[in-house]
Amino acid sequence: MNWSAMKPVSLGTTTTVVLVSLVAGCGGEGEAPSQGRGGPPARPPTPVEVYVATTDTVTETVLATGAVEAIQSIELRPEMQGRLVEIMAREGREVRRGTPLFKIDDAELRALVAQLEAERDQAVQALQRTAAGEAGAHDRPGSVLGHRGRAPRQRR
């Protein structure tokens, strides 16, 4: 700052400016500061509400109408056909590969297994009777199967 270019100011003028500033800045206790003569009136204090902050869970619900599309979809095909008697997997639950999803009525299959087992048993019994008959035929003279279970060769 260039001190030589400044004009001298009297001490009285400086003191007056400081006192006026102090008086204007200090209002009465509880009073709104005034704007001085001719200025707009001072605004009253703004009312505020004070709350204590707490930690809590915010639950937000959205009611909407729309369409839901799956990210991934699969095609279910049964290994066999039949009537469903039980749904073992529930909608929305996660399942892994090989987890049973449905139970098919197996009454027809069990009946078919029983029938095939009976036919097998009859075939085994017929085989045993045939084997027993062949064993007896080897001992009979003049039997066609007399030569170790084979028919004899014919001569020409």
> What are the tens digits of pLDDT across the range 145-156?
555 555 555 555
* CB of 78 closer than 8 Å to CB of 104: yes
DSSP states of 105-144 as a string?
A: --HHHHHHHHHHHHHHHHHHHHHHHHHHHHHHHHHSTT-T
Looking at mean pLDDT, say which of 5-19, 98-112, 129-143 comes out highest: 98-112
pLDDT at res. 119: 97
CB atoms near residue 9 (< 10 Å): 9
CB atoms near residue 82 (< 10 Å): 14
- What's the mean pLDDT when you consider all of the chain? 75
Separation of CA 77 from chain center: 23
